[in-house]
Amino acid sequence: MTDTTLRALYGLKYHPFLPGVPTDGLWIPPAVEGFLGRVEALVAQGGFALVTGEPGSGKSKCLELLAVRLARLSDVAVGVMERPQSRLADFYRELGELFGVSLTPLNRYGGFKALRARWRSHLDTTLFRPVLLIDEAQEVTTDCLTELRLLQSARFDSESLLTTVLCADARLPERFRSPECLPLGSRIRTRLLLAALAPQELIGYLEFALAEAGAPHLFTRELIATLAAHAAGNLRLLSHMAAEILAIAAARALPAPLDEKLFFEAFPPPGRPKTPKPPRGGT
């Protein structure tokens, strides 16, 4: 069944549990809202911010929300790094493309000066600094992290020419303990740790997601509670399970609201195989 058919069947404006949810349909926990506000304030001063958490905890969505929030501010130049695993030459090349500076990878010192001059010019003509967002930042090499720290530091480290937001799993904070990365780790000015969510928080997410998609009563309260109890506090796992239930229900053309019986059919306890059900009206 196509996504269009599924949405028509249940009156959904969009699929609430697949990638591509509109930004205004993203759930924002209080901790994330506070972090977004702190980064907005940080932009006026420059410096490093860090988002960390286990896979599936919502790090990339947090960065997406931040990008949209910053785009609404006037005089802010936001660059999003697409290839964090690049070596130093390509790292410089991508920075140049993001901030409108023509760089020659073989002339690294020239690139260093050109980027700083570009950021300095931006600072002299606007109230805010340029911003660099790096998702999957645990993949950035130590050489590139060191270069980035030196690039944005000016006047004997009393001024920062750039705001950089690093989004990574737990491997990056662990690297900050090493002598090579400790200078950068000590410069993180605001942090957000996305931990496992409590079932009640997951219930809030499901209720919000369904309401924003236009079908607040698609799942019964019992199904919502059951999903939240089995998601191990992980938003990605919760969304995958909810999407699987929707797909099964749509394939059978089951009417709303969908109840918790469907959960146990879709995700039987270990050792018990799924029981296939005939389509509605079948024998």
Entry field: residues in the chain: 283
pLDDT at 154: 80
Same domain, 155 and 256: no
Q: How confident is the model at residue 104 (pLDDT cuts 50, 70, 90)?
A: low
Query: Does residue 20 have a pLDDT over 50?
Result: yes
Residue where one domain finishes, among candidates 168, 194, 220: 194
pLDDT at 272: 59
Cα-based torsion angle of the residue sequence 119, 149, 114, 121 in order, rounded to the nearest 10 degrees: 10
All residues at 6 or more sequence positions from 51 whose CB lies less than 8 Å from its CB, including other chains: 35, 59, 62, 63, 165, 166, 167, 168, 191, 192, 194
Angle value at C-alpha 66, between 62 and 69, nearest 5 degrees: 140
For residue 21, count other CB atoms closer than 10 A to its CB: 19
35 within 8 A of 62, measured Cβ to Cβ: yes
Name which of 99-103, 142-146, 247-251 the model is least confident about: 99-103
Provide the whole-model pTM.
Answer: 0.85
Give the SS3 label for residue 82.
Answer: coil
Portion of the chain with pLDDT greater than 90, in percent: 67
136 in a structural domain: yes
Same domain, 10 and 144: no
User: Average pLDDT for residues 76-93, to the nearest whole number?
Assistant: 89
User: Average pLDDT for residues 55-67, to the nearest whole number?
Assistant: 94
Same domain, 156 and 230: no
The per-residue pLDDT for range 164-209, each reduced to its tens digit, is: 999 999 999 999 999 999 999 999 999 999 999 999 999 999 999 9
Same domain, 62 and 113: yes
Name which of 11-15, 118-122, 187-191, 193-197 the model is least confident about: 118-122
Same domain, 68 and 82: yes
Query: Does residue 37 have a pLDDT over 90?
Result: yes
257 in a structural domain: yes
pLDDT at 282: 46
272 in a structural domain: no
pLDDT at 105: 57
Q: How confident is the model at residue 91 (pLDDT cuts 50, 70, 90)?
A: confident
- Identity of residue 39: V
The per-residue pLDDT for range 159-171, each reduced to its tens digit, is: 888 899 999 999 9
User: Average pLDDT for residues 105-124, to the nearest whole number?
Assistant: 68
The structural domain count of the chain equals 2
Q: What is the domain range of residue 70?
A: 30-194
Query: Does residue 271 have a pLDDT over 70?
Result: no
Same domain, 215 and 239: yes
Q: Which CATH number characterizes residue 174's domain?
A: 3.40.50.300
181 within 8 A of 169, measured Cβ to Cβ: no
User: Average pLDDT for residues 36-54, to the nearest whole number?
Assistant: 94
Same domain, 13 and 79: no
Residue where one domain finishes, among candidates 194, 214, 235: 194
Same domain, 15 and 35: no
pLDDT at 109: 60
pLDDT at 173: 95
Query: Average pLDDT of the chain?
Result: 88
Q: Write the CA distances from 237 to 17, 78, 81, 100, 202, integer angstroms.
A: 10, 30, 26, 39, 11
| Helix residue ranges per DSSP H, the chain | 3-10, 30-43, 59-71, 88-98, 108-125, 142-152, 171-175, 182-185, 199-212, 221-229, 235-251, 260-266
